[in-house]
Structure 1
Amino acid sequence: MPQTRLSTARIRAAHKAINPLFRNTPLYPCEPLGQHLGCTLNIKLETANPVRCFKGRGTEIVASHLDDTNAKDVVCASAGNLGQALAWSGRARNLNVTVVASRSAPATKLDRIRALDATLELVDGDIEMARERAVDIARHNGIRLVEDSLDIETCEGAATIGLELVESAQPIDTVLIALGGGAMATGVGHVVKELAPHVEVVCVQPLGAPAMTRSWREKRVINTDSINTIADGVAGRRPIPEVLEDLLLVADDAVLVKEESIVQGMRMLFDHAGLVVEPSAALGVAAILEDRERFANKSVATIVCGGNVNMDAYHQWVMAGRTG
């Protein structure tokens, strides 16, 4: 396959180095949900760890490298999950972690960042504004800036999910991956295309935050002016050129899904799999709901990537319209 920035050898080494708490998350066919969707649906459950999302795989690598160099200070911008993961990995190694986030980020995620002893700085605006502030902090203080999806450790950490998928006993025709900044999509995509090229890699993004999908389709970076989605974990406006180049090499397709499909996906994951997930984690199910014929009778894997959700909002989304 054409070369991405990633290395399968480094991904295998990362898998060995990551704290076992984040490795080998459950992968299983969810028969009740698959029956409703008309396919064999295999769930890769990335919420079964201390930070309830996949980001800890990458931050473990980042933090271990910092520990090796005796660097103690690090900053990142986050919609919430990366910040929690970096705070968790940093706390275990006595690092001084600063997280910059939007004031509008889910309170549940912000509270957890604080509880993990990180310094939290809030900014007005969205994740892109937080990224600008994190860059300023890193430059002013001369400390390490972790840029999700651009930093190769975040991609190769996420890519270890791909190793577990392709080395499992579950036959898979298609893998559905939530697409935001691109760390998980490029990481998992790299592994799948190198080790199991027959498996289709489909990235899924909300219609209200389409920048990376539009960029993939046009084969050039396309920025957007605004974001309108409940899926805060994938709500970026400015794709990173290097990440887009990798995505173009590994993704077979990138699709956009409606907000109502995301909500329905969350509801179905609760009803038929007993899972409380954040909106980004339901993107794969949403893609099947919007194109059942495409996935009919196939063995599909969806990565349930995060479960850090504001419960008041969750009840409003998932329980709204129920008849009993």
Structure 2
Amino acid sequence: MQRTRLDLDRIRAARKVIDPVFLDSPLYRCEALEPLLGCAVNIKLETANPVRSFKGRGTEVVASQLAGSDSRAVVCASAGNLGQALAWSSRDRGLDVTVVASRFATATKLDRIRALGAKLELVDGDHELARERAAAIAQYDGIRLLEDSLDLETCEGAATIGLELVPRIDPSSRPAVLIALGGGALATGVGYVLKTLAPAVEVICVQPLGAPALTHSWHQRRVVTTDATNTIADGVAGRIPIPEVLDDLLLVADDAVLVQEASIITGLRMLLDHAGLVVEPSAALGIAAVLEDRDRFAGRQVFTIVCGSNVDLDKYRGWVSL
């Protein structure tokens, strides 16, 4: 494999500074889903932790570095999960955290950011406007800007998930790992580890049809932006891919696919009914991908990373009751 920005030694070192509460998350074969999907479905559950998403792995690395530095203030833009994770990782380390988010973000996520002690600033726009505002704050105040997926700590923290997947992969079973694609930290991090240590795995990124920028960029091998997004999967609803992330993704992903909203909703219902899991739409993207292309995955060992469960319950009830 050609060289990416990531490094296996740094990823292994990250495990030593990440709070064990985020490590070795449940990984199990969900036999109840197999008759419905036609493949051996393995769930990597990244919601059984204090911030209910995989983001804590990366923010633990960032916060541990900041705690030992002269600068103890940090700002980030977040759709909700990164902000919660950064606030949680910083709270006991005495760091000053500002999170910029869209005022249209999931209220549950925003409330949790406040409850964890971070300063929350809301913007009248989408996540890309929040990114611009966070960068302006960092420059004006002279503090650390944490950019999800661009900053290697977020990618290499997420990559520790890959270290936990590798021992369970059966190369003879035509294995595939389905990874939700948003900013790209999860996909590039996990994908790098898999391609380095388990090259037989097919790494497939999954994005909503209503937020396709990074998928289009992967297929066209250049940054493709969109003017708007339209998806219930708010955690992956970016419009402007980061060039460095795309460069990495082109080296570690075997494919990038788009799925329809109806499939995401069906995936949410299936995870509830057959796995007992209440998750956010981004976490159902892997199941949605299998639903839309059953023949591709028939009889294979399939892993899906259930990446978050911070969901607006009123909206969730509406989705799963349809």
Q: TM-score range by the shorter chain?
A: over 0.9
Correspondence for 2:150: 150
Counterpart of 1:64 in structure 2 is 64
* Structure 1 partner of 2:165: 165
SS of corresponding position for 1:167: helix
Shift of 1:312: 0.1
Listed one character per residue, the Cα deviations across residues 265-307 of structure 1 (whole Å, up to 9, x for unaligned) are 0000000000000000000000000000000000000000000
Deviation at 1:170, TM superposition (A): 6.2
Match in the other structure for 1:204: 206
1:111-260 correspondence to structure 2 within 5 Å: 111-168=111-168, 173-260=175-262
Per the TM alignment, residue 239 of structure 1 is displaced from its structure 2 partner at its CA by 0.2
Bigger shift: residues 219-228 or 164-173:
164-173
Q: Displaced runs of 4+ in structure 1, greater than 3 A?
A: 168-172
What TM-score results when the alignment is normalised by the length of structure 1?
0.98
- Superposed CA deviations along residues 125-157 of structure 1, whole A, max 9, x for unmatched, are 100000000000000000000000000000000
1:9 paired residue number: 9
Identify which range, 257-266 or 64-73, moves more after superposition: 64-73
**2: distance between equivalents of 1:70 and 1:94?**
12
After TM superposition, give the deviation of residue 71 of structure 1 in Å: 2.0
Q: d(CA) in 1 for partners of 2:170 and 2:98? A: 40
Can you list the C-alpha shifts for 1:218-260, whole angstroms capped at 9, x where unaligned? 0000010000000000000000000000000000000000000
Residue by residue over 1:179-231, the C-alpha shift from the partner in whole angstroms, topping out at 9 and shown as x without a partner, is: 01000000000000000000000000000000000000000000100000000
CA gap 1:17/1:167 in 2 versus in 1, 3 angstroms: farther
Map of 1:297 onto structure 2: 299
Q: Secondary structure at the match of 2:168?
A: coil
Q: How many residues align?
A: 320
Q: Give the structure 2 partner of residue 285 of structure 1.
A: 287
Q: Counterpart of 2:290 in structure 1: which amino acid? A: I
Amino acid at match of 2:298: A
The match for 2:278 is 276
Report the AA paired with residue 62 of structure 2.
V
What residue ranges of structure 2 are gaps of 5+ in the alignment? none
3-state SS, counterpart of residue 254 of structure 1: strand
Give the CA deviation at 1:167: 2.4
Shift in Å at residue 64 of structure 1? 0.4
The share of aligned pairs that are identical, in percent, is 72
Provide the C-alpha distance between the structure 1 equivalents of 2:125 and 2:149, rounded to a whole number of angstroms.
21
RMSD: 0.9
Give the letter for the 1:296 counterpart: A
Letter in 2 for 1:36: L
- Corresponding residue number in structure 2 for 1:29: 29
d(CA) in 1 for partners of 2:29, 2:75: 38
Q: Distance in 1 between matches of 2:243 and 2:320?
A: 36
TM-score, normalising length from structure 2?
0.98
For the residues of structure 2 that align with 1:167 and 1:40, how far apart are their CA atoms? 16
The residue type equivalent to 1:105 in the other structure is A
2: CA distance between counterparts of 1:75 and 1:92?
Answer: 17
Q: Which residue of 2 aligns with 1:104?
A: 104
Equivalent position of 2:320 in the other structure: 318
Counterpart secondary structure, 1:50: coil
